[in-house]
Structure 1
Amino acid sequence: MPLTPLDIHNKEFSRRIRGYDEDEVNEFLDQVIKDYEIVIRENKELQNQLLSMQEKLDHFSNIEETLSKTIIVAQEAADEVKNNAKKEAQLIVKEAEKNADRIVNESLSKSRKIAMEVEELKKQASIYRARFRTLVEAQLDLLSQDGWDSLDSREPSLDHGRDRDREIKEIY
């Protein structure tokens, strides 16, 4: 156990003949006590400073560790957000491609349907024109027959009129 200033102060030396001057020894011991007290005080101050510095170092080490963990977590979160954004973008692109394909297919289907309808209408118009032409030609043939002049003098044959009606109905 280290000496204290009190230990030095209370130290008694045995006396001998021809010993040291007692006053000089006491003065020296008083000086040693004062210097030793200063050294002890400085030592305590340095220990307190060391403790304070150690606490600050621990505090800053904790902050550094927390910041490192925070940076790692933030980087991981940023990577996750980036990956999620890429996945979402891919899904949006795929959905857009599907919609585009669907729209193109629907357009092609409608185009084919309209083309078929146009062809059908052309056929119907051609058939109508042919029937109309046949009707007009039949009417012209009827008008060009010689029987019109004699209509006033004789009665028309009912059979002849019925035959014409059948021809017209067959055309339609």
Structure 2
Amino acid sequence: MALTALEIKDKTFGVKFRGYDANEVEEFLDIVVRDYEDLVRLNHDQEAKIQALEERLNYFDEMKDSLSQSVLIAQDTAERVKQAANERSENIVRQAEQDAQHLVDEAKQKANEILRHATDNAKKVAVETEELKNKTRVFHQRLKSTIESQLSIIDTPEWDEILRPTAMYIQTSDEAFREIVEKALGESVHHHHAEDDNIDLTRQFSPAEIEELQKRIEAANLELGATQAFEGLNEKVQSALEEAEHARHENEEVFEVEETVQPEDDANRESVNIL
């Protein structure tokens, strides 16, 4: 058991002969008591400080543990965030690669479709152009044959007869009539003596003369019918010429269509070459 200051102060000693001076001993004990009390008080203070320090140490230990735990949690959180970020970035990259590949595949598919469509159109235009050319060749050949046929009609000798001046027909008819009368009557009729030697057309004709006149008139009618036939031929030729002119206009329209189709074919070929 620890010695207290009161016990030191109340301590008594027995008296013996030639012993210590009691006053000196009392004074010394008082000094010892004071020092002991100081030491005890100091010890209490130190214990209080030690306790406070221990409490602080415990606080810091707890804080250290808390900080360590927080650091561990932060490290774990950072690690998880880092891992999640890596996974997310990998997912984003993978998704981006998939999207890019999908876009590339879709673009290739569309490009192939456009190329195939353009190729089909180019082939279709080429076939249509070739068919149009074949039709144009056939039409050209028919037109050529028609024109040659019409030219062969135009080059016939009948045209000379048709185009002969009208005065010649009148003169010929007058001469034919005079010739009929001359042959029938045995009379001579001349143009330069027409006023002096007019034929008497009012006299009576004999049956033979009448028969001869009828024959001559029939011959003149035949000639007039031939002339009218030539006029009908003229109408047919005119109609044929109009048809040829109409065919020529159609041929020009066909060539214009062909020239329009050809640039489209070239444009399609250029688009195919670009693709």
Q: How does 1:31-50 map to 2 (within 5 A)?
A: 31-50=31-50
Structure 1 position 98 matched with structure 2 position 98: yes
Q: Which runs of 5+ in 2 are unaligned?
A: 154-232, 241-275
Distance 1:99 1:44 in 2: 78
Give % identity: 30
Greater Rg over alpha carbons, structure: 2
Report the TM-score when normalising by structure 2. Answer: 0.50
Paired residue for 1:135? 135
Cross-structure match for 1:148? 150
The residue aligned with 1:62 is: 62
In structure 1, the partner of 2:123 is: 123
1:66 counterpart SS class = helix
- AA aligned opposite 1:118: A
How far did 1:58 drift? 1.6
Following superposition, the deviation at residue 18 of structure 1 comes to 4.8
Q: Which residue of 2 aligns with 1:170?
A: none
Instruction: Find the aligned partners of 1:63 and 1:136 in 2 and give their Cα distance.
Output: 104
Measured in 1, the distance between the counterparts of 2:45 and 2:93 equals 70
Count how many residue pairs are aligned between Structure 1 and Structure 2: 155
Give the C-alpha shift of residue 72 in structure 1. Answer: 1.6
Q: Tell me, in whole angstroms, the C-alpha distance in 1 between the residues paired with 2:81 and 2:116.
A: 52
Letter in 1 for 2:32: V
Counterparts of 1:18 and 1:124, CA distance in 2: 152
For structure 1, list consecutive stretches of 5 or more residues without a partner in the other structure.
157-172
Instruction: Report the equivalent of 1:109.
Output: 109
Deviates more, 1:86-95 or 1:128-137: 128-137
Over aligned residue pairs, what C-alpha RMSD do you find?
2.4
Q: CA deviation at 1:90?
A: 0.8
Higher relative contact order, structure no. (Cα contacts within 8 Å, ≥ 6 residues apart): 2
Assess, with a 3 A threshold, how the Cα gap between structure 1 residues 11 and 128 changes in structure 2: closer, same or farther: same
Q: Residue 118 of structure 1: SS of its match in structure 2?
A: helix
Kindly state the Cα deviation for residue 68 of structure 1 after the two structures are TM-superposed.
1.7
Aligned to 1:27: 27
Alpha-carbon shift at residue 94 of structure 1 (Å): 0.9
2-side partners of 1:83 and 1:109: how far apart?
38
User: Cα deviations across residues 137-171 of structure 1 (Å, max 9, x unaligned)?
Assistant: 22222222244355717xx9xxxxxxxxxxxxxxx
